[in-house]
Copies of this chain bind each other. A is one copy, B any other.
Amino acid sequence: MSRKYVFMFEEGNEKQRELLGGKGANLAGMTNLGLPVPPGFTVSTEACTRYYDDGRKIGADIEEQIFISLAKLEKKMGKKFGDPSDPLLVSVRSGSRASMPGMMDTILNLGLNDESVEGLAKKTGNPRFAYDSYRRFIQMFSDVVMEQEKAVYERILDDIKGKKGYKSDTDLTADDLKAIVKLFKDNYKKNQGADFPQDPKVQLIEATKAVFRSWDNPRANSYRRMNDIPYNWGTAVNIQSMVFGNKGETSGTGVAFTRNPSTGENKLYGEYLMNAQGEDVVAGIRTPKTIDDLKQQNPALFEQFVKITQTLEKHYKDMQDMEFTIEEGKLYMLQTRNGKRTAKAALKIAVDLVGEKMIDEQKAVLMIDPKSLDSLLHPQFEAAALKKESGAVIAKGLPASPGAACGKIAFTAERAQQMAEKGDKVVLVRLETSPEDIEGMYVSQGILTARGGMTSHAAVVARGMGTCCVAGCSDIVVDEEKKILKADGKTFKEGDYISLDGSTGYVYGKAINTVPASLSGDFGTIMQWADKYRVLKVRTNADTPADTARAVELGAEGIGLTRTEHMFFDADRITAMREMIVAKTVAEREKALLKLLPMQKKDFKGIYEALEGRPATIRFLDPPLHEFLPHTDEEIAALAKDMKLTFDELKATVESLHEFNPMLGHRGCRLAVTYPEIAVMQTRAVIEAAIEVNKEKGLNIVPEIMIPLVGEVRELKYVKDFVVKTADEIIAKSGVKLTYKVGTMIEVPRAAITADKIAEEAEFFSFGTNDLTQMTFGFSRDDAGKFLKDYYEKKIYESDPFAKVDFEGVGELIKLAVEKGKRVRKDIKLGICGEHGGDPASVEFCHNAGLSYVSCSPYRVPIARLAAAQANLRNPRKE
């Protein structure tokens, strides 16, 4: 016997989201609650999967089941599908497990044809209603099923209205609509080369296929990718007997929320239109009434509706978003679902529901989408200002780092600093940023780049700083020499105002006021609950005392990654750094390093103080040395002069440091293997700073020294021996006690594979998932942007492996390393410090893999805390 693919509403229940989709499960749920739901049935998500497996065909067995259910529906309704005198009409709607914009939405009035429209007119005694329904059906079918151009139908409608001098659709008479139906059908034929299908069964199957097809359209695919919805879930199709909101002035249709989706206020909120079908409410042609008006208009019906909304909220234990229709004074419920809401509303609703004892804290923690917190943590545009200037969009780039920014344009980092010093708010605009821009980036409100992807230098650094950034904005042309930005036919000069929205990628050619983030009391409450239920610690990636302090405010429990090299790009430091690089002997190198020592020490003291005793993992010098040297002949000549070298000497050094693949070059611990004196200096800075801060502030800082890019235990051992010798000497000399740890990053595949050996020397592992992802996949994030879009389009990858841990490949390596590491060193501390540490799905992976902590940029700390709590609530860790 064939598998069951089609379910009458009363055969299902609201738990069957996977099989029936969200909409179908809830229709079944409402039916079972005895609410007034028009009868119907659901074609399951498994039928959709079959459709694709079968080469985009609906199997005969599935078609048969659809028609069997249709027959049951006919019986229940006492009407026949296609009956010329009293036809059964249905709506067809998509409905996947997760609510998904971008997919086919709705076809109404399906079942009408040239004959039955007449029957409907007679039966209802309302030919206007019948022809209005038919023209709507043709319109929706042509648009949604046949993918014809929508505008033509609107134009025909507008033409008639214009000729007749009508203001509104409701002015159209039955005859007008009859004429429109004819014009619509003509246009259909012109487009399709065939008559509008008259067989209702053909209409039904085509509509079902259209829903299945829409699962794979580009918008749906990109939504899925952004929201981690697997392609193989598929969508269900809901076929429901029609009720009509367009049967006259006692009919209507509307949507409502049990609470305010924008603020979270516990008050019924909604809109409706009389004598209308669903799409009229959305279309915005007529202004809908608020739900409060319904109380006046029909108090009994309103009371019934309120009771239903309360039943639903209590039943689903969450704010509900409902669709309803009133047919000749009778109320029908067409849909209910947990309502979408702003992040702010989500927090309020969750906290309120706990207060109302409808849910417990755990449920409240699970209700909040961790990613949504992002929008609460950064400055936003003032709503009124944004509304006013919404037409000022001049370009759209990648939403690389969230928040809103408004300021004067600067085209160089240096200029940005100068302008900021004068008190200007600055937006830094560059083709792309480089490490030397770091200070200019730091003082800017926002960063806009023409090139680079979501993981370009600008994007990564901006996210780290919590600064708004729009990256890879190919809509703009930047001439850095002439200091000109062109976009949307306009030219902007240095000092002109622009505004950026780092959450959407929009660039505005005007100043739009921003307001700072406000972390309401509900935010604090949820975070407090989250901390109660998580076991995974959350640390931060921070390179400065200011970033550290901000992260601690946001709940960071320590530092998981301090990149020491970022400290070397300051103007006064890079000189000493360059002296170190061009040094020809160990003695010369040590002399230059001695200049860097007090600076590094000062950095570390500042960071320790901001941490107030929390642990700090400090990564030793990582990037290849050529990053600290200029590359053009002009710059080299200037620097050579400063450094009292000949041009040829410096040029030779720059050339000798050139690498074919810098990602796979002389960097990480390889630098310390060649120049152990660098590690010695950094050890001194780390240890001396800790001793001094512990003494001065009465703290007990335990520094964790992290050796990067290890692939072989002997290279770790080699560097570690220098670290330990240096540290122990300093500690012995200081006469005080200091505990410190030495560990490594696991970011080279070989390190993961030989983690058991490495754990013999490493007291902790921190998974550097950025590099580990690059090397495991064999592509560099700087280069992959060019071809990854093909991979998404062709559905080879469903998500960005640099944003969400690739569970199958990189994840396997992490699990292998965890297992091998723990086998050798039971109490090994395990963390992650790549970009992934702030991604909720990746945080859940880390929880399940048994890591001790995740570390992420300061503004992602709350997200990680919440995600960690949710992970533990879903899969409690046995410690």
List A residues at the B interface (Cβ < 8 Å).
Answer: 659-666, 670, 673-674, 709, 711-712, 714-715, 718, 747-750, 753-754, 757, 771, 774-780, 782-784, 786-787, 790-791, 794-797, 806, 808-810, 812-813
| CA of A795 to CA of B775, assembled, Å | 25
Most buried by B among A662, A709, A776, A806: A776
CB contacts (< 8 Å) of A810 on chain B: these are 750
Task: Given A664-B774, A712-B809, A748-B778, output 20 extra A-B contacts at Cβ < 8 Å.
Answer: A659-B783, A660-B663, A661-B661, A661-B780, A661-B782, A661-B783, A664-B778, A665-B779, A665-B784, A670-B779, A673-B796, A709-B778, A714-B795, A714-B796, A747-B778, A750-B777, A750-B778, A750-B806, A753-B776, A753-B809
Contact of A794 among B662, B664, B718, B786 (CB under 8 A): B718
The reply to whether B714 and A780 form a contact with Cβ atoms under 8 Å apart is: no
Question: Which residue of B is nearest A773, CB measured?
Answer: B750
Whole-angstrom CA separation of A455 from B749 in the bound complex: 22
Pairwise interchain contact B749-A666, C-beta atoms closer than 8 A? no
A186 to chain B, nearest CB (A): 36
Give A221 Cβ to nearest chain B Cβ, in Å.
Answer: 14
Give the CA-CA distance A754 to B812 in the complex, in Å.
9
Are A813 and B777 CB-contacts (below 8 A) given A673-B787, A790-B674, A796-B715? Answer: no
A661-B782, A775-B775 as given contacts; A666 in contact with B796, CB under 8 Å: no
How far is the CB of A434 from the nearest CB of chain B, in Å? 12
Report the nearest B residue to A717, measured CB to CB: B796
> Quick one: which of B715, B776, B795 contacts A750, CB cutoff 8 A?
B776
Q: Is the CB of B661 within 8 A of A715?
A: no
CB distance from A106 to the nearest CB of B (A): 33
Residues of B within 8 A of A662 (CB): 660-661, 783
Residue of B nearest to A747 (CB): B778
Please tell me if the beta carbons of A711 and B777 are within 8 angstroms of each other in the complex: yes
Residue of B nearest to A782 (CB): B660
Q: Are B715 and A787 in contact (CB under 8 A)?
A: no
**Quick check: A778 and B771 within 8 Å, CB to CB?**
yes
Cα distance, A775 to B777, chains bound together (Å): 9
Contact of A780 among B665, B754, B806, B809 (CB under 8 A): B665
- Contact assessment for A665 and B783 in the assembled complex, using a CB-CB cutoff below 8 Å: yes
Bound state CA distance, A591 and B113, in angstroms?
A: 50
Q: Which of these, B714, B718, B813, contacts A749 with CB under 8 Å? A: B813
Q: In chain B, what residue has the closest Cβ to A711?
A: B777
Q: What are 5 A-B interface contacts by the 8 Å CB criterion? A: A664-B780, A665-B780, A666-B787, A714-B797, A749-B809
- Of B665, B718, B779, B813, which contacts A753 at CB under 8 A? B813
A789: nearest chain-B partner, CB-CB: B674
B778 close to A778 (CB less than 8 A): no
Contact between chains at A660 and B775 (CB < 8 Å): no
A754 CA to B709 CA, complexed, in Å: 23
| A748 contact set on B, CB distance < 8 A | 776-778
Contacts of A660 in B (CB 8 A): 662-663, 780, 782-783
Chain B residues, Cβ within 8 Å of A777: 711, 748, 750
User: Is the CB–CB distance between A790 and B673 below 8 Å?
Assistant: yes
| Chain B proximity of A22: nearest CB distance (Å) | 27
- The answer to whether A711 touches B780, judged by C-beta atoms less than 8 angstroms apart, is no
Which residues of chain B are near A812, meaning CB under 8 Å? 753-754
A796 touches B718 (CB 8 A): yes
CB distance from A809 to the nearest CB of B (A): 4
Residues of B within 8 A of A787 (CB): 666, 670, 673-674
CA distance A778 to B709 in the complex (A): 8
Contacts of A754 in B (CB 8 A): 808-809, 812
- A391 smallest CB distance to B (angstroms): 33
Q: Which residues of B contact A795 (CB under 8 A)?
A: 714
Contact of A664 among B747, B783, B813 (CB under 8 A): B783
* Residues B673 and A791 in contact, CB atoms below 8 Å apart: yes
Residues of B within 8 A of A786 (CB): 665-666
Q: Which of B714, B775, B794, B809 contacts A778 (CB 8 A)?
A: B775
Contacts of A711 in B (CB 8 A): 776-778, 809
CB neighbours of A790 from chain B (8 A): 673-674
The distance in angstroms between the C-alpha atoms of A194 and B771, with both chains bound, is 57
Which chain B residues lie closer than 8 Å to A813 at the CB level?
A: 749, 753
* Most interface-central of A659, A670, A673, A786 (chain B CB within 10 A): A670
Nearest 7 A-B pairs (CB), nearest first?
A664-B780, A750-B809, A748-B778, A661-B780, A665-B783, A660-B782, A749-B749
Bound-state CA distance A747–B778 (Å) is 9
* A666-B787, A787-B666 given; A776·B796 CB < 8 A: no
CA–CA, A786 to B662, complex, Å?
12
**What separation, in Å, do the CA atoms of A749 and B813 have in the docked complex?**
10
**Which of A665, A709, A806 has the largest count of B CB atoms less than 10 A from its CB?**
A665
Residue ID in chain B nearest A715 by CB atoms: B796
> Please, how many angstroms separate the alpha-carbon atoms of A864 and B757 in the complex?
31
- Chain B nearest CB from A232 CB (Å) reads 12
CA distance A555 to B476 in the complex (A): 61
Contact between B809 and A666, CB atoms less than 8 A apart: no
> Taking the nearest CB of chain B, how far is it from the CB of A652, in angstroms?
13
Set of chain B residues within 8 Å of A776, measured between Cβ atoms: 711, 748-750, 753, 775
Determine the chain B residues whose CB is within 8 A of the CB of A665 once the complex forms: 779-780, 783-784, 786
Is the CB–CB distance between A715 and B791 below 8 Å? yes
A664 engages B663 (CB within 8 Å): yes
Which chain B residue lies CB-closest to A668? B778
Are B664 and A779 interface neighbours, CB within 8 A? yes
The docked-state distance in angstroms from the alpha carbon of A60 to that of B665 is: 47
For the complex formed, measure the closest distance between the CB of A699 and the CB atoms of chain B, giving whole angstroms: 36
Q: Within 8 Å CB of A718, what residues of B? A: 794, 796
**For the complex, what is the distance from the CA of A718 to the CA of B792, rounded to whole Å?**
12
Question: A715 to B794, alpha carbons, bound, how many Å?
Answer: 9
Bound Cα distance from A795 to B718, whole angstroms: 9
Residue in B712, B794, B809 whose CB lies within 8 Å of A797: B712
The interface centre, meaning the residue of A753, A754, A782 with most chain B CB atoms within 10 A of its CB, is A753
CB atoms of A794 and B659 under 8 A apart: no
CA distance in complex: A420, B797 (Å): 51
B-chain residues with CB within 8 Å of residue A661 when the two chains form the complex:
661-664, 780, 782-783
Contacts of A673 in B (CB 8 A): 787, 790-791, 794, 796
Q: Which residue of B lies closest to A809 (CB)?
A: B750
- Distance (Å) between the CB of A718 and the closest chain B CB? 6
Bound together, the chains give a CA A780 to CA B784 distance in angstroms of 18
| A408 CA to B753 CA, complexed, in Å | 50
